[in-house]
């Protein structure tokens, strides 16, 4: 009696574990959401202090995402000391100290200089990726990087940015520290991914939770509210917490997990044109021809980097 042939194992599991093609565009989603943060912060600052806004973003993000994970039964907290240490470092680099130095950069410098310097962190990530995570930059990536940087320069400063002058030196230094911090968050998050053993949702949640102590102290030291909250400022803070914090961090963490960190980071250059466009739509700020050209260069660089 002949035996029935043993069926070969299906490759379906391999298909399921392979990330979908659209996942590599998740950093573009994150950059788009972060672009809307600039006008939203301006609205929130009508009644909140800068560090109140930073605390509110982390608190709302931790509350909403924590509730979702708890409801799904996927909220874990039993990690090794080494994992907790790495999560703490990532939390301060990605939220706690990053938002602190970003706020100080605007306070002691100029919003334009801060936006440009902080906006260079995708370039820092792309440049450091070969050393930190062993990724090689393609020639196309280098061209994309140059196009995007020139575009950001034209959008943010209209080609007239002056950095590290006497009156803005301190603020510019704070902005540079902020850019290095967030670039480190992206690179270390990718480098430590397998060692951490946490999902993108868990990494995002603990980024907010572990940053809250620092942001709480700063919010208390920042003084009382300038004015009672309004529906407009409260709505802006809610948008910042749910969309530009929770949703954006989920998108960037998952996108970095499934894609090359260097090319993924180039997609983040989309936030300056989005910020400029949404500011124009909300506040009616006039856009110059130079800014439109800059936006076109950024989008061209992003499309070029996104090609396989």
Average pLDDT, the chain: 82
Confidence of residue 14 (pLDDT cuts 50, 70, 90): very low
Q: How far is CA 207 from the centre of its chain?
A: 12
Lowest mean pLDDT among 78-82, 149-153, 221-225, 262-266: 262-266
pLDDT digits (tens, 9 = 90+) for 28-82: 888 888 888 878 888 888 899 989 999 999 999 999 999 989 998 888 888 999 9
pLDDT for 152: 81
Confidence of residue 9 (pLDDT cuts 50, 70, 90): very low
Confidence of residue 146 (pLDDT cuts 50, 70, 90): confident
pLDDT for 220: 92
Please say if the pLDDT value at position 122 is more than 90: no
Distance of alpha carbon 304 from alpha carbon 13, whole angstroms: 32
pLDDT digits (tens, 9 = 90+) for 86-106: 999 999 999 999 999 988 888
pLDDT digits (tens, 9 = 90+) for 245-296: 889 888 888 877 766 566 667 777 787 788 778 877 777 777 778 878 888 8
pLDDT for 306: 62
Distance of alpha carbon 79 from alpha carbon 155, whole angstroms: 44
Distance of alpha carbon 103 from alpha carbon 53, whole angstroms: 10
> Which position has the higher pLDDT, 307 or 194?
194
Helix-strand-coil percent breakdown of the chain, rounded to 5?
A: 75, 0, 25
CB proximity list for 294: less than 8 A, separation 6 or greater: 150, 151, 152, 153, 154, 155, 272, 273
Cβ count within 10 A of residue 191: 17
Written as one string, the DSSP assignment of 174-222 is HHHHHHHHHHHHHHHHHHTHHHH---HHHHHHHHHHTTHHHHHHHHHHT
> Which position has the higher pLDDT, 257 or 119?
119
pLDDT for 66: 92
Residue closest to 299 by CA, chosen among 170, 133, 147, 154: 147
Distance of alpha carbon 176 from alpha carbon 96, whole angstroms: 16
156 neighbors 117 (Cβ within 8 angstroms): no
Distance of alpha carbon 25 from alpha carbon 211, whole angstroms: 27
Residue closest to 28 by CA, chosen among 205, 271, 227: 271
> Which position has the higher pLDDT, 8 or 258?
258
Residue closest to 65 by CA, chosen among 184, 199, 181: 199
Distance of alpha carbon 265 from alpha carbon 145, whole angstroms: 10
50 neighbors 222 (Cβ within 8 angstroms): yes
Confidence of residue 301 (pLDDT cuts 50, 70, 90): confident
Instruction: Kindly report the backbone phi and psi dihedral angles of residue 19, in degrees, each rounded to the nearest multiple of 5, phi listed first.
Output: -65, 145
Please say if the pLDDT value at position 5 is more than 60: no
Distance of alpha carbon 59 from alpha carbon 148, whole angstroms: 33
Written as one string, the DSSP assignment of 19-52 is PPGGGGGHHHHHHHHHHTHHHHHHHHTTTS-HHH
pLDDT for 80: 92
pLDDT for 19: 57
pLDDT for 16: 38
How big is the CA angle at 44 (ends 302 and 102), to the nearest 5 degrees? 55
Arithmetic mean of pLDDT, 206-232: 92
Cβ count within 10 A of residue 159: 14
CB proximity list for 109: less than 8 A, separation 6 or greater: 168, 170, 171, 172, 174, 175
> Which position has the higher pLDDT, 122 or 67?
67
Arithmetic mean of pLDDT, 285-308: 76
- Report helix, strand or coil for 75: coil
pLDDT for 303: 76
Highest mean pLDDT among 22-36, 160-174, 213-227, 287-301: 213-227
């Amino acid at each position: 009696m002949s035996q029935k042939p043993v069926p070969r194992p299906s490759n379906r599991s391999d298909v399921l574990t392979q990330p979908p093609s659209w996942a590599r565009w998740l950093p573009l989603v994150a950059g788009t959401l972060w672009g809307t943060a600039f006008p939203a912060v301006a609205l929130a600052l009508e009644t909140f202090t800068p560090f109140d806004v930073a605390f509110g973003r982390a608190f709302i993000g931790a509350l909403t995402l924590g509730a979702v994970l708890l409801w799904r039964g996927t909220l874990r907290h039993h990690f090794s000391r080494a994992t907790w240490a790495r999560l703490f470092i990532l939390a301060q680099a990605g939220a706690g100290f990053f938002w602190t130095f970003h706020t100080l950069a605007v306070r002691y410098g100029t919003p334009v200089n801060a936006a440009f310097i902080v906006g260079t962190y995708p370039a820092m990530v792309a440049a450091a990726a070969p050393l930190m995570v062993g990724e090689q930059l393609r020639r196309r990536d280098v061209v994309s990087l140059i196009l995007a940087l020139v575009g950001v320069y034209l959008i943010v400063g209209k080609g007239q940015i002056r950095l590290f002058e006497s009156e803005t030196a301190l603020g510019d230094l704070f902005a540079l520290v902020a850019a290095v911090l967030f670039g480190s968050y992206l690179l270390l998050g990718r480098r430590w991914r397998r060692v951490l053993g946490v999902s993108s949702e868990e990494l995002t949640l603990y980024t907010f939770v572990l940053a809250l102590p620092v942001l709480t102290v700063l919010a208390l030291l920042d003084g009382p509210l300038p004015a009672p909250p309004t529906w407009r400022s409260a709505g802006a803070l809610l948008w910042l917490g749910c969309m530009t914090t929770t949703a954006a961090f989920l998108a960037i963490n998952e996108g970095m997990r499934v894609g090359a960190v260097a090319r993924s980071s180039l997609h983040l250059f989309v936030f300056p044109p989005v910020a400029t466009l949404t500011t124009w739509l909300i506040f009616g700020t006039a856009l110059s021809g130079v800014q439109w050209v800059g936006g076109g260069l950024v989008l061209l660089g992003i499309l070029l980097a996104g090609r396989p």
